[in-house]
Amino acid sequence: MFADLLTDFADTGAPHPITVPSSEQFARAIGALGVSNDTHVIVYDQLEGDTWPEYYPFWASRFWWHLRLEGHTKVSVLEGGLAKWKQEGRQIETGPVKVEPTQFTARRQPGLLARVDDVVSAIGANDVLLISALSPAIYSGEKQVYPRAGHIPRSKNVFFGDLIDTSSGRFADPAVVRPLLQQVGALDPAVKPIVYCGSGIAATIVALQLARLGRTDVAVYDGSMTEWVADERRPLQVS
């Protein structure tokens, strides 16, 4: 089944794209795909590594996080996505797929979603860790992609590209990922990680990799840099 994260699973009336919708909208949309609270969902996307770095989709990790946000923990991500599946000569099909709609009860987990006020508070808090998943050049301010350059004050940088193998589409091994996340303090149980990127998509790769290491409490700042830089009163740092 196809989950349209740009429309069915987004608040299209929000000022910024790909904004988390209400739990009620999510429940209707996921129920229409035949997913109940007992369904094990396996999520995949294109993951075409040859388009890196100009284009690299992160929709599987985003939907993995969104399902967990609404209380659904029976969810897995297919490593390598459709591209790797095809490369291995596995079966595919075309045409429409019919499914019986079902009932889904959303049970939102507020701790997995960060709003702008949470990020403002985090800047002055010692028990919250802000992590930017953007490239080092964007994080430092050397490269300007958004209307203002730099990063949210006190945030650390863990580039999502270091957490995946773009040649295969697989997620980097935990043995490779652990030291990268450990050195910024993301595995410290005394702090609450909040990850962000441009629009809350690539950040979910960091959240997923942290979950693989046992941190299932990571929040994603949904508005991320798109929302943050829109208000010039919100501070940025360059390094």
- Which are the catalytic amino acids? 197
CA atoms of 14 and 19, how far apart (whole Å): 7
Count the alpha carbons within 13 Å of 109 in the hemisphere toward its beta carbon.
Answer: 16
Strand segments, DSSP code E, in 27-108 are: 41-43, 75-77
CA atoms of 2 and 34, how far apart (whole Å): 11
Residues recorded for the chain: 239
* SS3 at position 76: strand
Residues facing residue 237 across a β-bridge: 151
For strand 128-132 and strand 156-157, is the pairing parallel, antiparallel, or unpaired?
Answer: parallel
Which bin fits 215, alpha (ψ -120 to 50), beta or left (φ > 0)? Answer: beta
CA atoms of 68 and 174, how far apart (whole Å): 21
CA atoms of 82 and 187, how far apart (whole Å): 31
Residue 222's closest CA among 74, 64, 116? 116
Residue type, 216: T
The kind and range of the H/E element at 114 are: strand 113-114
